[in-house]
Amino acid sequence: TMITNLTRFMTVLTLESLDISPSTAFSIFIFAIITYCLILLFHSTLLVTIAAKRNLHEPMYILLFNLSLCDLMGATGFYPQLLCSILSQRREISYPACALQAILLHLYGTGSLLFLTVMAYDRFIAICMPLRYHSLMTRGILVKLICMVWSLSFSIIGILFVLTLSKEICRTNIVYMFCNNPSLMSISCEDMRAANYYGLFTIALVQGSSILIVSLTYIKILIICLSSKEKQSISKAIHTCGTHLVVFLIFEINTFLPLITYRFESFSPSLQRACGVSIVIFPPILNPLIYGLKTREIRQTIFIFFQRKISSI
């Protein structure tokens, strides 16, 4: 039977079982809460470091600041609900909470990909046009780029969920480990073709344009590096670009991994579930570590800060 607009906000949905035995539930809960706490610690350290230090108020670090906000959004959309599920041994979630989780996770995915694309463009200008960098990446242009990414992310995801959430639902069982747009579409009993086509179009557009822009910028950077006679500038370029490229590849691998594993029945259900949640586990915890350890300015600033704190005790 169809659930009306009024009653669906009180509807309780059931997510796919975690398949955790009572004997392992506690250890998995501890692992999940430590992971979430580490994500919060790493990102808050990175955000405070970039915000507090004027020497880090450069386009690359300000873009990294926004990427960190996206990671926090994704982790906060996923972990609290997962921890409640493990603790209570129940896989129930209210319809509004499910919708909120889905929106946060999709904003995280779209925002992260767009910011990584803008970061590639920033590295392209810095290496290929070093003399024009400060005139091409002014504070005003940077603010416009950041506003454009957030506006695009909210617009794309906003339209997607208007199309999905406006439909009536007639089922309460979700065959996913967490709430996302496909899971919300699966519980609707109305025609979801508009939302489905729009979702596929935006995924193809955002993913396609991001991969194309990042690929073209790195091909151009590689050509410049190979033709340059300055060994020091080449090594610096490889170092700064290498950090970004590793983060971009981690994000893309964890995006496409669930799509691949769910297409083939040879993969076990437990592996499919693990790959399904990898996008909200690995990028949020690895990104601040990679940038923190690989970027000298951030590493030195954090080291000096903790050194002062320890010496003052």
Asked if the model's pLDDT at residue 177 lies above 90, the reply is no
Is residue 294 pLDDT above 80, yes or no?
A: no
The larger pLDDT score, comparing residue 214 to residue 269, is at: 214
Distance CA 111, CA 148 (A): 10
Ranges 154-168, 175-189, 204-218, 264-278: which has the least confidence: 264-278
Q: What is the pLDDT of residues 150-166, one digit of tens each?
A: 999 999 999 999 999 98
Confidence of residue 55 (pLDDT cuts 50, 70, 90): confident
Please provide the average confidence, as pLDDT, over all residues in the chain.
Answer: 88
Determine the pLDDT at residue 313.
63
Three-state DSSP state, 249 = helix
Q: What is the pTM assigned to this prediction?
A: 0.91
R_g of the chain computed on alpha carbons: 22
Pick the CATH number of 11-17+24-308 from 3.20.20.70, 1.20.1070.10, 3.40.50.720, 3.10.450.50: 1.20.1070.10
The residue type found at 196 is N
What integer is the mean pLDDT of 19-27?
A: 84
* Secondary structure (3-state) at 139: helix
Interval 39-46 mean pLDDT: 93
DSSP letter string over 205-239? HHHHHHHHHHHHHHHHHHHHHHH---HHHHHHHHH
Mean pLDDT score, 230-257 = 82
At 7 the pLDDT is 63
- 291 compared with 140, residue with greater pLDDT: 140
The helix (H) or strand (E) run that includes residue 12 is strand 12-14
Residues constituting the chain: 313
Render pLDDT for 195-227 as a digit per residue (tens, 0 to 9): 999 999 999 999 999 999 999 999 998 888 878
Which pLDDT does position 23 carry in this prediction? 82
pLDDT of amino acid 273: 79
What average pLDDT score do residues 235-243 get?
A: 76
Q: Is the pLDDT of residue 3 over 60?
A: no
Question: At 1, is the pLDDT very low, low, confident or very high (cuts 50, 70, 90)?
Answer: very low
pLDDT band (50, 70, 90) for residue 236:
low
Cβ partners under 8 Å of residue 249, min gap 6: none
pLDDT at residue number 195 = 92
